[in-house]
Structure 1
Amino acid sequence: MCIRSLVLATTVTAVALSASATPLNPRFDYTVKESHNVPPQWSNIGNPDPLHHLTLNIGLQPNDFESLEHHLHQVSDPSHPRYGQHLTQEQVHDFLKPADETFDLVRAWLVDNSIDPSFCNINTARDWITVTLPVATIEQLLDTKYSVYEHQDGTRLVRTTSWSLPQALHEHITTIQPTTAFLRANPKGKTVLDVPIDVDLAQAVKVADAANTTTIRGACNFGGMTPKCLRTLYNTINYKPQVPNNNSIAFNNFLGEVSNRSDARTFLQNFRPDAVDSAYAGTQISINGGAYDNGTAPAGIEGNLDLETILGLVYPTPVTLYTTGGEPPFNADKFTPTNTNEPYLTWLLFLRDQDLSTIPKVISTSYGDHEQTVPPSYAKTVCNQFAALGAQGISLFFSSGDFGVGANSSCVTNDGKNRTAFMPSFPASCPYVTSVGGTMGYPEVVAYDTRNGFVSGSGFSNYFQRPKWQSTAVEDYLDSIGDQFQGLYNTSGRAYPDLSAQAYRYLVWLNGSVRSVDGTSCSAPTVASIFSLVNDALVAEGKSPMGWLNPWLYQSGFEAFTDVVNGSSIGCNGPGFGASDGWDAASGFGTPDFEKILDVLGVGVS
């Protein structure tokens, strides 16, 4: 990360630049690169301190992303001879690196604005430049004006609604953030929804201890979800990982969330005693000052949910905990560098430069926000980074959201027309991730909970067109619903979720006591865990891990899923997409059966 000189230097720079140009008197060669309207529920409350620091991520146009995309589809298509032959990190970097002309032009632009590139962070592929600058300098650099915006919940961000570049740079820079992105990735405590405990804890523990319980009804109380129930329901109960030293799984924490390993140990003592020693065995990786479990930090319910769910399902597979810093609310500290919550880019740029052998091949992320809170350029650029990971054999699972087709108060567009519309979620809408919806009960139905308003998220992207691998399944579903919801969603957009799992009343240990939570934050780590076990079985037979899942899922993998045909993703003060036979926009292809997945893949179970 590049932090310019101290107070005197940054002040001199800002003064020097102001002598040559101001946002009110723009330089003649600057034109607007991007504009993005303020999303609903945000208000401009004033100006930031001109010396407040922001960390800019400058994305450079890749030289050959189209070829990377072409290779990704080949190695992810089970009918292609190259299926499973994932790219090396060096190959991916070769596709993503910008042309020399692009890099030289952007570097010259920074120098012309008195920004020394030698103090900046340039990633290995040279397609991202990270530089920390005071707001006043950024305003000159991008010919713009920043403001402090406040969300109705109190979150504050320093953002602008439009920024410019010299015309000659428009084709060379993909995005610069933080500028117009109002993504919050959901404030902590809101990604999972707390509910009262409906089960006798002692009885739940007793069921978990019953080694001879083999039926779903015997292993499950659906008012209090446990690892024993999930392992029985999704048919992993009899599988013991064969090559845990050659396989691993990870999950993401953002927004100050901490996973408390002491709580995880207590959880495992009660619900997976044979795995209790794994609680402290996980690898913690802090990115950009992300929170760290040092034994004293208070736990986060999201972080504990992910850690406890995954440990309860994949033991003895190693688990990695990524924690990325960058957390609202904005604090007006003049000289403290902040990225005010651009979590995905920060995490992705870190991950892309790590030794590929150290990156877990399955990663679960239970965060998201409305797609319209970010400009299309940001969404596309971040989605392309997910594609780069998929090409290297990494499976990315994202929760589909917790408010159906949209929370009742949020279903208004920010396109200047203020239309009522369903609200797709990002990154769940990116085609290069696998989006996980939520179910409940048995037989499973689309999850909802009247106590807290939880409904499994679903939708159609307004930014990403429907990919070919999804066309048949989605178009069959659209034919079945006809004109229902006409005008409320993009009928040609990438549809999600892709699949589902239980998302109702998970028991979680938090700060020494048990809680019950809902949300697709439950189902995402559950599905990720199942596919981590799938990878274990593949690697044990000398085969490649799954990597980007979606082409396989829509071509043949769906045969291993239990169809969910009842329930609906209600929202926006009305009905939402309903479940039906086959793929649907409420539950995807339904829920996984581990042993059937291995059968479809032609993998034996030892």
Structure 2
Amino acid sequence: MRFHPLSVLSVLPFGPLSGIATPFASHWDDLREKHTWNSVPENWQNLGYPPADTTIDLHIALKAKNENALIDALIEVSSPGHPKHGEHLSREEVAELVAPPSDMLELANAWLEHHGVHPSTISTKHGGSWLTLMGVPVSRANELLRASYQLYQHVETNDTVLRTLSYRLPAALVEHVQNVAPTTHFGFPRTPRQEPFMRRGGATTEQTKALGGEPGTVLSSRDQDVTPSFLRWFYKTSSYVPSAVDRNVLGVVGYLGDQPSPDDLRQFMNEHRSDATSATYSVVQIKGGGSNPSNPTNEANLNIQYTSAIVHPTTRIFYSLGGGDPLLNWLDYVLDLTSVPQTVSTPYSIPEYKVPLDYATHVCNLLAQLGARGTSVLHSSGNDGVGRGNCLVQDSSGNSRVQFIPTFPSTCPWVTSVGGTTGYNPEIAASLSGGGFSVHFPRPSYQDDAVPTFLLNLGGQYNGLYNPMGRGVPDIALQAMGYPIILKNRHKKVSGTSCSTPTAAGIISLLNDYRISNGKAPLGFLNVLLYGICLEGLNDITSGSNPGCNTDGFSSVPGWDPVTGLGSLDFERLVAILSRW
């Protein structure tokens, strides 16, 4: 339904239904806080209560009976030399790994029954780890979770969501429930793409130089355009012709109604890849995703145009998501497929501190499931260097402090985080490249040989502004500045890690094509490979930085760094490495 702000309407909770009794009833009044915001999150304003007849679909994620099993399996199938390498799991095998204890599933259902949630409105997926409650009246959701759902609007984008600032769960369940959504996670508001060499509000000469725009630095001989022909030449994919086009799929995810235009794609290919003017894609609409290609958006056109120019004629699917929680809705959809796409590009991010830990952990576990099934998932690292503005961060308790701000889902250890570069001869860091260290997620083992070296050389600089034990981002970085696109039959130029991410995804998709066409498994989760045997197939980026938070940010140095990661991709060297196993 369409939400309208109401300032005085109150929502009264239903009481427990008198006809329902369970042996667990005494459990339900002993409640524990699951997550609470001390105040309305930044850039959101309260519009009041929703209309009385408003309903909501709730997703309840239960923890697995063996919480380590999924990650153990992911690392096994992703590690060259392991006996199970490349033996990616089926939907049913993953569901078995993430299934909750049977008694916890029974207890959760008893709790829902106690509050009048009829079993016919509950669907169970992913081994019982994900319960979806369809069409729950907001008043009942408030009682169930001791919540206060209200409407909130983003002050910059006008996106409107139904959320609560806190929720509680019964003590008997709170440690066994990973997350309930939507609750306190406010979502992914639209973020305008940066025009080339422009920070928000314009750029001075010095800022332009910092972004790599000094004459002679950024492709000046090509009028500073990063075109498909340049990218294919620079990353050495020009001579490769895909052959597993009926078996290899590249997925592009579009949130919040973002959608591409086939007419704009046709014009783009005519101008930039005349041998592939027949390029097309399919659209899958999920939960109200856009269906009007006559009203395309920057983000969607950018991703479809550049992935098409790199991987044509490989199959491409655009997943169009509407409202609600688009990230969870997409993961719910794709994980329920019998066959998943081998490569996925997702150019969206949000400051990690704005994402509740329980929500972030749930999403990260779902992304790990996708990796275990053989998908290479790439997420952009953000466009604000180490952080935007003064980086004064308020935690859920209301305490504020300055800290660098990495972005989620890029910080999830089970995706490949993509930063930005610019220039050539040499290729250097783009200063907008998001990078840093996660607060939510500890450093994964595959980074144990790479990240400590950087930290040792960094010394005490920025102590207290970042988590030295956190997962480091990005993992790789590619060209991010000055991409020409076609939007509504007009030429534009954009920049950001939402440019570098589809470029990286296109190259990875070609590597998957190479693997599949030679009778081998797709790459799946990439990071074990990138930090291991594929390291020699990367171009180390050793200059530039990512300023932010009123600091110079981190510097790009030899080896891994939190600006450009391990470097950019060299397709031909990576093919040579992959041909050996």
Q: Same fold (TM over 0.5)?
A: yes
Q: Is the 8 A contact 2:16 2:114 kept in 1?
A: no
1: CA distance between counterparts of 2:56 and 2:221? 49
Q: 1:441 aligns with which of 396, 414, 423?
A: 423
- Aligned counterpart in structure 2 of residue 320 of structure 1, from 286, 310, 317: 317
Superposed displacement of residue 15, structure 1: 4.0
Contact in 2 for aligned 1:61/1:102 (Cα 8 Å): no
Q: Comparing both structures, which one devotes a greater share of its residues to helix?
A: 1
Partner of 1:158: 162
The question of whether the paired residues in 2 share the 8 Å contact of 1:225 and 1:505 is answered with yes
2:220, 2:308 → 1: CA distance? 18
Q: How does 1:33-432 map to 2 (within 5 A)?
A: 33-38=34-39, 39-131=41-133, 132-153=135-156, 154-183=158-187, 185-187=188-190, 190-195=191-196, 221=222, 223-279=224-280, 282-293=281-292, 295-296=293-294, 298-326=295-323, 339=324, 342-356=325-339, 359-408=340-389, 410-415=391-396, 416-432=398-414
1:366, 1:40 → 2: CA distance? 22
Query: 1:597 offset after TM fit, Å?
Result: 0.5
Describe the SS at the equivalent of 1:148.
strand
Distance 2:385 2:218 in 1: 28
Q: In 2, are the aligned partners of 1:18 and 1:140 still within 8 Å (CA)?
A: no
Change in Cα spacing, 1:597 to 1:93, as seen in structure 2 (3 Å) is: same
Q: Which position in structure 1 is the counterpart of 2:571?
A: 594
Q: Is the 8 A contact 1:219 1:229 kept in 2?
A: no
Counterpart of 1:288, as a letter, is K
Q: Distance in 1 between matches of 2:221 and 2:503?
A: 15
Closer, same or farther: CA 141–473 of 1 in aligned 2, 3 Å: same
Distance 1:217 1:105, change over 3 A: closer
- Following the alignment from structure 2 to structure 1, what is the Cα–Cα distance between the partners of residues 298 and 458? 37
Contact 2:64 2:100 in 1 (8 A): yes
Match of 2:507 among 530, 534, 542: 530
Shift of 1:88: 1.7
Counterpart AA for 1:395: S
What is the CA-CA distance between 1:312 and the residue it aligns to? 0.3
Question: Any conservation in 1 of the 2:193–2:496 contact (CA below 8 Å)?
Answer: yes
Give, in angstroms, the shift of residue 85 of structure 1: 1.6
Whether 1:545 and 2:528 are equivalent positions in the alignment is no
Amino acid paired to 2:89: L
Q: Closer, same or farther in 2 for the Cα pair 1:554/1:58, shift >3 Å?
A: same
Distance 1:418 1:536, change over 3 A: same
Structure 2 Cα separation of the partners of residues 138 and 28 of structure 1: 15
Deviation at 1:600, TM superposition (A): 1.7
Rounded Cα–Cα distance in structure 1 between residues aligned with 2:255 and 2:91 = 25
Against the structure 1 CA distance between its residues 146 and 435, is the aligned structure 2 distance closer, same or farther, given a 3 Å change threshold? same
* 2:203 corresponds to: none
C-alpha distance in 1 between matches for 2:120 and 2:11: 19
Q: Structure 2: which 5+ residue stretches go unaligned? A: 1-9, 20-26, 199-216
SS in 2 for 1:367: coil
Map Cα deviations across residues 326-379 of structure 1 (whole Å, 9 max, x no partner): 1xxxxxxxxxxxx2xx221111011111112xx210000000101111210110
Rounded to whole Å, the distance in 1 between the matches of 2:580 and 2:28 is 63
Within 1, Cα distance between the matches of 2:128 and 2:243?
A: 39
Displacement of 1:289 after TM fit?
A: 1.6
CA distance in 2: counterparts of 1:560 and 1:440, whole angstroms: 19
The answer on whether the counterparts of 2:219 and 2:423 sit within 8 Å (CA) in structure 1 is no
Partner of 1:562: 539
Match of 1:508 in 2: 485
Matched residue, 2:204: none
Secondary structure, counterpart of 1:565 in structure 2:
coil
Change (3 A) 1:432 1:124: closer
1:477 aligns to 2:477 (yes or no) = no
Structure 1: give runs of 5+ residues left out of the alignment.
Answer: 1-10, 21-25, 198-215, 327-338, 449-454
Compared with structure 1, are the counterparts of its residues 239 and 27 closer, same or farther at alpha carbon in structure 2 (3 Å cutoff)?
A: closer
Counterpart-to-counterpart distance in 1, 2:344 and 2:220 = 27
1:267 is paired with a residue of what secondary structure? helix
Moved over 6 A (4+): 216-220
Q: Provide the rounded CA distance (Å) in 2 between the counterparts of 1:217 and 1:489.
A: 30
Once residues 223 and 73 of structure 2 are traced to their aligned partners in structure 1, the CA distance between those partners, rounded to angstroms, is 43
CA contact (8 A) 1:287 1:323 kept: yes
Deviations 1:484-513 (A, max 9, x none): 111111110000000010011101000001
d(CA) in 2 for partners of 1:236, 1:124: 38
Shift of 1:588: 0.4
Which residue of structure 1 aligns with residue 6 of structure 2?
A: none
Give the 3 Å change call, closer, same or farther, for CA 402–218 of structure 1 in structure 2.
closer
Secondary structure of the corresponding residue to residue 344 of structure 2: strand
Which of 405-414 and 235-244 deviates more?
Answer: 405-414
Confirm or deny: 8 A CA contact 1:257 1:323 kept in the other structure.
Answer: yes
Q: Secondary structure at the match of 2:277?
A: helix
Please list the CA deviations of residues 150-171 of structure 1 after superposition, one character each: whole Å capped at 9, or x if unmatched.
4442444332222112211123
Confirm or deny: 8 A CA contact 1:196 1:516 kept in the other structure: no
In the alignment, the residues of structure 1 paired with residue 57 and residue 427 of structure 2 have an alpha-carbon distance, to the nearest angstrom, of 45
Identical-pair percentage: 37
- How has the CA–CA distance of structure 1 residues 485 and 18 changed in structure 2, closer, same or farther, with 3 Å as cutoff? farther
Give the alignment's Cα RMSD to 1 decimal: 2.4
TM (normalized to structure 2)?
0.89
Residue 284 of structure 2 aligns with an amino acid whose one-letter code is: I
> Could you say what secondary structure the match of 2:402 adopts?
coil
2: distance between equivalents of 1:310 and 1:556?
A: 26
Q: CA deviation at 1:34?
A: 2.5
Q: What is the Cα deviation at residue 81 of structure 1?
A: 2.6
1:269-294 deviation line (CA, Å, top 9, x unaligned): 01011111113xx121111121124x
- Could you tell me which residue of structure 1 aligns to residue 442 of structure 2? 465
Q: Equivalents in 2 of 1:317, 1:155: separation in Å?
A: 34
| Per-residue deviation, 1:117 | 2.0
CA contact (8 A) 1:145 1:160 kept: yes
Distance 1:555 1:292 in 2: 42
Aligned CA distance change for structure 1 residues 546 and 191 (closer, same or farther; 3 Å) = farther
Partners of 1:127 and 1:480 lie apart in 2 by: 43
1:186, 1:368 within 8 Å by CA — same for their partners in 2?
A: no
Indicate conservation of the 8 Å contact 2:248/2:513, yes or no.
yes
